[in-house]
Structure 1
Amino acid sequence: MTSLNRRQFNRALVAVPAATLVGTGVGVLASRGASAAPADWNAHLLAGVPGNPGLKHQTRAGDGTWQPSWEEASTPDAALFSLSCAGISKDLHVVASVDGNTVSHCARRGSDGSWTAFRPIPLQSGPTGAPGVAVASLGKALHVFGCSERGKILYHTVRDADGNWQPSWVTLRTFGTLISQVATARVGTTIDTAVVTDGNLFHAIRASDGTWSNWGNIESAAGQIENGVLEVALAGIGSQLHVVALSSSMDAYHAIRRADGSWQRFRKVTAFANYSPYSVSAANVGGELQVAIIDWADSQQILRHNIRRADGSWTPVRSIPGTGLTGRTGNLALAGTL
């Protein structure tokens, strides 16, 4: 079954009475002992309104506490569309589709919390329209992936450790149907990348020498996701790739690709059984899988968060307090830093 197109879903929300992105009510945080991640690590969450200027940032400390309020992140004057982020040591790097035609980059300095301005990635012959983007860090380099709006081509480029970008985008593959989303993550010394196209989920690996594996359908190895894939998030923990996928019926699934290439098959995440997530992001934060979703409930969009522990257990789902965001949101990104 074909996945629900993200932009079609967002347009459908316009018919709903003005929704508010809230973090109250069920947003009581778990105790430190139940929710804390390794103390030296911070989780960073970004959220924004698609097609409008504005980007909000929240930080979850290793002891499980959130900042008392969201802050304004580096915000372009133009409209912000798709969004992704990755940590390098204490710094948070953000890549976004700006103004419907420009893939841009900014960073939050971990030393003082200041933001650089969004600047277009100075490359030619890359994704156009309102591109979909994804970013992962490997050492001090950033690997950025993009696809054109209503496009079939997946592109890749790299920001080197010295801050310089490669001179051009590289075409990785042309798919047979339109790409609706891209996700990526570092796993050890490799970069794993996934693409959602026509409700299917494809995956390939970039080795440390820069060569790529063949693209394969994850569901062929890890089991079928009922009703097609709407969106996917990836996170690398040790030598394992964690895949969190949302179906078009708004169920959340989780699978693991082990170091030997075998898969722990997709299972529904029971922690999300009572929610209706339509957007997801995931990250390795201190060796644990942290997951954030946008949940559609009672004509409101609510950001929620939980953690998969190293022993395979999931913490209770909690709403994120004090968002301060209004309107319909479709941009969500999560990453960990020291």
Structure 2
Amino acid sequence: MKTAKLRRVLPLALAATAALGLGIGSAAQAAPATEGDVQLLTTDGNTGLAHTIRGFWGNWQQFGHLDGYNGVTAMASTYHFGAEHAFVQHDGGRLSHLVRHNDGTWDDPDVLTVPAGGKLDGLSATDVQGRLTLVGLRNGKVQLSTVQDDDSWSSWADVPSDGKNISSVSATTDGKGTLIVAELDGAGNSVGVFKRSADNQWGKGSWNPASPNATANATEISAAYATGQLQVAAVETEVDGAYRSVFHSTLNDNGQWKPFQPLYGAIGSSPGIAAHVAVVPWEGDLQLAYSTTDGRLFHTIRFLDGSWQSWGDVEGAAGNITAGPLTMASNTF
């Protein structure tokens, strides 16, 4: 077994790395990030954010806290030129841009610009050919904005949706200049994927049923390009509300979907009632985390061979919080 694979399968229950608390404008900063880390940002209750890092060996830093972000309704993050760029919608619709550098310091969000526009219903971020790109959802329509050469943001432009009303959106890239946008239709019944080539041409949409079960539908999706294919995670719920858990599907580059399947089938359990989900590519594998309706947070890895790691309790390693919407960022494919 290769050393890299050994690093991936270490259990989440490893003791967390010691780290200082975090507050923008304070001297205390979380420990620096290193290559192979995955950064996770989520809410902590209704008035702040919580940030942690999962190290290459599977250890978690203690959560650091960023106060003053009330009523967060959307968040997204991505790596861009070696730093984590996070976007958070809070306090009735204000959109803030936060940058965390690899030395653990954060830029003051007041000095950073964001694209103009009204309140968003969903948000995703990625880096396409060295340009920060935001994909937003507003009144059922998907739009994107990109940082220009003068560091300003372009006006929001429509993303194809085949005329459908959209309820959740996620953006990623294949690392070769292609922007990939995954969309969940308004009824939660199907997921569509649209790709924009490096020369800015949109291809046809590719749609897949969001659930193998006619009595279930999806409420939220997250997508990442990992292991040479697009991987999509979805929070699925029974029509009668009997359960809510995380499902997963893949779309290969030949346009072939695999059906969405529940992770409790692959892993053997599904702790808590899922509320929000995030995925990110990592060292040739996929990392996935989800929060529950009572604020807990769980994590797993899907390996290159399609197998899954057992669920790990993030709070058990990184500290107790009340998690809500979440996002993860990695600098590896």
Match of 1:240 in 2: 229
On the 8 A contact 1:95/1:103 being kept in 2, the answer is yes
Quote the offset at 1:179 in angstroms.
Answer: 3.4
Which residue among 96, 111, 124 is the counterpart of 1:104?
A: 96
Superposed displacement of residue 173, structure 1: 4.4
Task: Spell out, residue by residue over 1:215-241, the C-alpha distance to the aligned partner (whole angstroms, 9 max, x if none).
Answer: 342228x96675111111111125310
Q: How does 1:4-19 map to 2 (within 5 A)?
A: none
Summarize the Cα distance change of 1:179–1:261 in structure 2 as closer, same or farther, 3 Å threshold. Answer: closer
How much has 1:192 moved relative to structure 2?
1.3
* CA distance in structure 2 between the partners assigned to 1:118 and 1:76 by the alignment: 12
1:168 aligned residue (141, 144, 155): 155
Correspondence list, 1:38-49, <5 A:
40-49=35-44
Higher relative contact order (CA 8 A, sep 6+): 1
Q: Does 1:146 align with 2:146?
A: no
Unaligned runs of 5+ in 2: 1-5, 13-33, 239-243
Residues 96-141 of structure 1: per-residue CA shift (max 9 Å, x gap): 213233333221111x1111122574544x3x23531111112321
**CA distance in 2: counterparts of 1:121 and 1:334, whole angstroms:** 21
CA contact (8 A) 2:78 2:127 kept: yes
Could you state the TM-score of these two structures normalised by the residue count of structure 2? 0.78
Shift of 1:56: 0.9
- With the length of structure 1 as denominator, give the TM-score of the two structures: 0.77
Letter of the 2:92 counterpart: G
- 1:265 counterpart SS class: coil
Q: What percentage of aligned pairs have identical amino acids? A: 23
**1:33: how far off?**
6.4
Distance change in 2, residues 1:325/1:171 (3 Å): same
Superposed CA offset, 1:166-217 (max 9, x none): 3311122477665332111112321211222221322211111111123342
State the one-letter code of the partner of 1:229.
A
1:293 aligned partner: 290
Structure 1 unmatched runs, 5+: 1-30
> What does 1:142-291 correspond to in 2, within 5 Å?
142-148=132-138, 151-160=139-148, 164-173=151-160, 179-189=166-176, 190-196=178-184, 197-200=186-189, 201-219=191-209, 226-249=215-238, 250-269=244-263, 270=265, 271=267, 273-275=269-271, 276-291=273-288
Superposition pairs of residues 297-336 of structure 1, within 5 angstroms = 300-320=294-314, 321-326=317-322, 329-336=323-330
Give the SS at the match of 2:144.
strand
Conserved in 2, the CA contact under 8 Å of 1:152 and 1:176?
no
Residue 27 of structure 2: aligned partner: none
In the aligned structure 2, how far is the partner of 1:264 from the partner of 1:166?
36
TM-align CA RMSD: 2.8
Contact 1:45 1:332 in 2 (8 A): yes
Do the aligned partners of residues 231 and 123 (structure 1) sit closer, same or farther apart at CA in structure 2, a change above 3 Å counting?
closer
The alignment partner of 1:259 has SS state of coil
- 1:145-168 Cα offsets, whole Å, 9 max, x none, are 1122xx1221101124x5713331
Question: How many correspondences in the alignment?
Answer: 292
Deviations 1:241-287 (A, max 9, x none): 01111212313222111122222332222226332212110000122
Say whether the 8 Å CA contact 2:79–2:127 is kept in structure 1.
Answer: yes
* Structure 2 CA distance for partners of 1:334 and 1:212, relative to 1, 3 Å: same
Superimposed CA distance per residue, residues 15-56 of structure 1 (whole angstroms, 9 cap, x where no aligned partner):
xxxxxxxxxxxxxxxx9562389x940011111057x44111
For 1:215, give the aligned amino acid.
G
